[in-house]
Chains A and B, each alone.
Chain A
Amino acid sequence: MSYMKTALMGCTMLAMSGAAWAQDETTVIGVSIPAATHGWAGGMNFHAQETVERLEETYPELDFVLTAASDAGAQVNDIEDMVATRGIDALVVLPFESDPLTPPIQSVAESGTWVTVVDRGLSVEGIEDLYVAGDNPGFGRVAGEYMAEQMPDGGDIVVLRGIPTTIDNERVAGFEEAIEGSGINIIDMEHGNWNRDDSFNVMQDFLQKHDQIDAVWASDDDMAVGVLAAIEAAGREDIQFVLGGAGMKEMVQRVMEGDDMIPADVTYPPAMIATAIEMTAVGLVSNAPVSGTFTIGSVLITEENAEQYYYPDSPF
């Protein structure tokens, strides 16, 4: 489907660019992101589209090309097509994987095109003009600090990890560092692959294996959904709370409503793509481009501040 959407988007763009052409001096910005294959990516796609639409209205002189790729190879093709057929002046890219995308993005940068990299850094430093990064160690650290604060006397927790990747490793390392010396024990850790069904199964088995679990770091809101269902089905009362992550709207809503099981969430906002597109666009229009690294820190969402992180229209 992402295919058709992309095509449709392309058509809209063409029509718009036709209109924009009349005014001369059009600047084209290419945006290349992974397709919506899971919740977070779905949210990211939503924010990207929304931002593109909004900016095109605000700045008639800007023209956008948005593509969503289902794997790293397809993303390379997308970028090559943008350069070859649309003559982009700037590229905003959220790389599928760092290594395979580095050389093609490098060659785009060398041709003088402005490059903004989002979330996943490239393998070679200094290619991009602007790096809008999520903070994975920080994501783990914020979660760990919250756990330590909630459980001053320590306790036994289980951890669900994502798909084995650098991102996951950095988060878990950050978390472990933050809970060090707090008396909190990680009694079990298993991959739930950022997937509801997998995390449900893993949590069921954890509940079988351990008679006492004080809290769960699900490390992701999709996984938290599976974990909560498993706990509810088992009817276990010993678990005090589940901490997810990423800021899925259903979870943020539960935080906002003061749910005991979900007292907090940690952001890893899919909206960082919007920030990146906006910064790039504004930079190009104002002739005063912002370059360097812009880290979007992970923030703790609690009942008090939940409202600002609640996007009811986003699919995520």
Chain B
Amino acid sequence: MTDAPVLSLRDVRKSFGPVEVLHGVDLDLRAGEVLALIGENGAGKSTTMKILAGYQPATSGRILLDGEEVSFGSLHEGEEAGIVMIHQEFNLAEQLTVEQNIFLGRELHNGWFLDKARMRRLAREYLDRVNCTVHPDTRVSQLSNSDKQMVEIAKALSRDARVLIMDEPTAVLTGSETETLFEQVRAMKADGTAILFTSHKLGEVAAIADHVTVLRDGAVVHDGRAADIDEDGMATAMVGRDVSDLYPDKAGAPDDVVLRVTGLDVPGHAEGVGFELRRGEILGIAGLIGSGRTEAMEGLCGLRPARAERIEIDGAKIDIRRPSDALEHGLCYMTEDRKLRGLLLDKSMRVNLTLQSLDQFGGLMIDRAAEERALDRAIEEFDIRAGRREMRVGNLSGGNQQKLLLAKVMMSDPSILIADEPTRGIDIGTKQQIYAFLRTLAASGRAVVMISSEMQEVIGLADRVLVMRLGRVSGTLSGDEITEDAIVRLAMGVGAGDSERAA
């Protein structure tokens, strides 16, 4: 099945200003083959993909399409050549419907008018192929992230791509959604499509890829058949050091209770949620997407309307009506969505870092020098790597954004940190740093709540695990009880095998 490559890069270099970010990359995409492009955040994966798809020109080097050198003048020419890219940040018009998005820019016509019937039929067909049950008339703004991803894929299917490039397609998908996606990938592969995808989930890479290319610091450090490299080998190649010891050691004996919540209701999302959090521990919250984990914690922190029977911090009953109440009591929530809720993408690191805790930087007037010093410390402590200090945060890599977000919430020095998906979409090296940080934080006499959809992370890091299902706590696990099997049983409801997605 390996014949001549469809699309290739030869000694491609890319510079942004004086900084060269790709140092001579070679890459081959073959028909009927899945290539996994992996590497740490900032290794150059996104840039490589954008050059392949014609979003960005290369500074030097050649792009070969069917062996012929091409240069895509625009994105459109890339698509004309049958190259479709699905972005990590969704490229969907939020106010249009699913169907309108699928056919956006290439609407089907029937003379002067739109051929709505045919578009409806085809939209339905594409959505069915990816097992997506949303109605074609739903507005994209009302969809969950995973549904948006499926719509993106349906859109790509409608393009009849020869080459499909997917930037972390599984980052927001649940396990079974990922499986649905992979079925489609296999089907497209069988049809002769060349597929490139990136993922930080190395297990998936091993499962679906035929070929693995590893990038580190803008250069290819490994290139070979997927069968010839195991997950540890991939991680080592990506990071350049041994990462088998991903999770820090767990804590010893639990301490006294610092947070006790009973009867927390978040209308429409969670009901009667109660739990205890002890000093020095990391409490994992597991559950399916949509099980009300995020909403419950947001409600607890005053970020959305909620009511609780009783909230105690250090034994004292407290009232939380707005976010500032939570912060005053040392309770801080770190959002799962760093791009839409966490960071101001068009502002600098300094502005983002201090936004939540501006009170620390002078009264009415802001002490900029103090802000700069805080940024120095944060860059040092959280190992944030940015080309320039003043660059837009939106131009940072995902891992560095996540570290900045962590630094931002830590500015208020919380005694209880609720971290929602703290490692979503970031590379394994950064994950390791964040795990170590959370453990150190807990060990220093604080407490951490970590919401996560990654089973391995919950099992590896949490001292106790609380599982939510349909807006309620379905169980708590600790010590040796924390197993993948036990969590899945609680998350799905014992015996409830098929109705997986909850309200």
Direct A–B touching, Cβ under 8 Å: no
Q: What residues of chain B have their CB less than 8 Å away from a CB belonging to chain A?
A: none
